[in-house]
C-alpha cells in the first residue's frame, strides 16, 4: 500500500502543480484511513484554490477520477480533498 500511496500522491501533485501560480505553497499529503481508504489532501495558496476546483468543480472531479482510476489497478479506494 505504501508504494501505491506514493504513486497516487505523485500523480495528484503532477496534475495540480501546473495549475497553480504559487507552486511553493503546494502540499500534497496522503493518509490511510482505518477502512483502508487512501485520503489525499491538496493544500494550495488561497489564490489558487479556484483554479484547482475549476468551474462547477470540473477540475477537481477530473483529478479525483484520474486518482481513482490509477488506484483501481490495485483494488484500492482513493478520496481526494482540498484542505483549506
DSSP string, 30-51: EEE-TTS-EEEEEE--GGGHHH
Q: Nine-digit cell at 83?
A: 484542505
Q: Which CATH superfamily is domain 2-82 in?
A: K homology (KH) domain (3.30.300.20)
Q: How do the domains of the chain map onto residue ranges?
A: 2-82
Residue 1 clears pLDDT 80, i.e. is over it: no
pLDDT at 30: 94
Q: Do 41 and 28 touch, CB atoms closer than 8 A?
A: yes
Q: Nine-digit cell at 58?
A: 470540473
Instruction: State the DSSP H helix or E strand holding residue 11, giving kind and residue range, or none if neither.
Output: helix 2-16
Q: Of 26, 8, 12, which is closest to residue 62 (Cα–Cα)?
A: 12
What tens digit of pLDDT does each residue of 9-48 get?
A: 999 999 999 999 999 999 999 999 999 899 999 999 999 9
Amino acid at each position: 500500500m505504501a508504494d501505491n500511496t506514493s504513486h497516487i500522491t505523485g500523480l495528484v501533485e503532477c496534475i495540480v502543480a501546473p495549475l497553480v501560480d504559487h507552486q511553493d505553497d503546494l502540499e500534497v499529503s496522503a493518509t490511510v484511513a482505518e477502512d483502508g481508504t487512501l485520503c489525499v489532501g491538496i493544500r494550495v495558496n488561497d489564490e489558487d484554490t479556484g483554479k484547482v476546483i475549476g468551474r462547477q468543480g470540473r477540475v477537481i472531479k477530473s483529478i479525483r477520477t484520474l486518482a481513482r482510476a490509477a488506484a483501481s489497478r490495485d483494488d484500492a479506494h482513493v478520496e481526494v480533498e482540498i484542505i483549506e
